[in-house]
């Protein structure tokens, strides 16, 4: 199925449903480096180099997030399920987690609950932002109740992602002044 949307004097957008065999996708699309799609690399910056854990199982979302964070100069690692999130958290230090809610094996809520039980105070209190396609009113309450610090519904734009990351990091700094 192909949908075509015309925007006068700007561009055409084509949306397609493509069925492909389940394989590890490893392609890079120049669209994510296009100045019409991505911000100027100097537009979104943080005062220090952030280390972010991206928890996402969808290949296109992983590509989008990695492109955006790379453009911002952020270091990151990827996890495709909650089990990998816990493993990476136990073996690495991060400043923030962008946590997909619906992942296989262990979802984002379950992973957050487990992280909040860590003995290491820094890891236990890491800021976690929920990324979810579920825009049902009231769902965000559940995310805060399990210990997430913010949420953003997908699809999101770069500006909204930057603002929620900045907001959550500032609140974290106020709560834990000895940290970044």
pLDDT in tens, 40-57: 555 666 666 889 999 999
CA dihedral 100, 106, 112, 114 (to 10 degrees): -160
CB of 58 within 8 A of CB of 78? Answer: no
pLDDT at 59 over 80: yes
Alpha-carbon distance of 53 to 108, in angstroms, equals 12
Whole-structure pTM value? 0.74
CB of 99 within 8 A of CB of 148? Answer: yes
CA dihedral 3, 15, 6, 61 (to 10 degrees): 150
CATH number, domain 51-180, options 3.40.50.1000, 3.40.50.2300, 3.30.420.40, 3.30.750.200: 3.40.50.2300
53 has which bridge partners? 77, 97
Phi, psi of 142 (to 5 degrees): -60, -40
pLDDT in tens, 128-145: 999 988 767 778 888 999
CB of 98 within 8 A of CB of 54? Answer: yes
Question: Sorting pLDDT into bands at 50, 70 and 90, what band is 176?
Answer: low
Task: Pick the more confident residue, 87 or 1.
Answer: 87
Report which of 83, 140, 77 is spatially closest to residue 114, judged by C-alpha positions. 83
pLDDT at 82 over 50: yes
Intra-chain end-to-end CA distance of the chain, in Å: 47
Three-state secondary structure call for residue 127: coil
């Amino acid at each position: 199925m192909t949908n075509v949307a015309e925007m006068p004097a700007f561009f055409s957008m084509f949306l397609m449903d493509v069925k492909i065999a389940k394989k590890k996708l490893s392609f890079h699309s120049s669209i994510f480096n296009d100045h019409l799609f991505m911000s100027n690399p100097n537009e979104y910056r943080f005062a220090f180099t952030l280390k972010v854990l991206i928890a996402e199982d969808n290949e296109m979302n992983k590509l989008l997030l990695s492109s955006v964070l790379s453009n911002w100069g952020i270091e990151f690692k990827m996890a495709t399920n909650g089990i990998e999130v816990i493993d990476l958290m136990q073996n690495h230090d991060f400043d923030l987690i962008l946590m997909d809610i619906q992942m296989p094996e262990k979802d984002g809520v379950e992973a957050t609950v487990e992280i909040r039980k860590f003995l290491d105070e820094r890891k236990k209190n890491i800021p976690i932002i929920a990324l979810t396609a579920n825009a049902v009113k009231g769902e965000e309450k559940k995310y805060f109740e399990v210990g997430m610090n913010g949420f953003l519904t997908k699809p999101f734009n770069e500006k909204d992602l930057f603002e929620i990351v900045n907001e959550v990091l500032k609140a974290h700094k106020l709560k834990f002044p000895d940290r970044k």
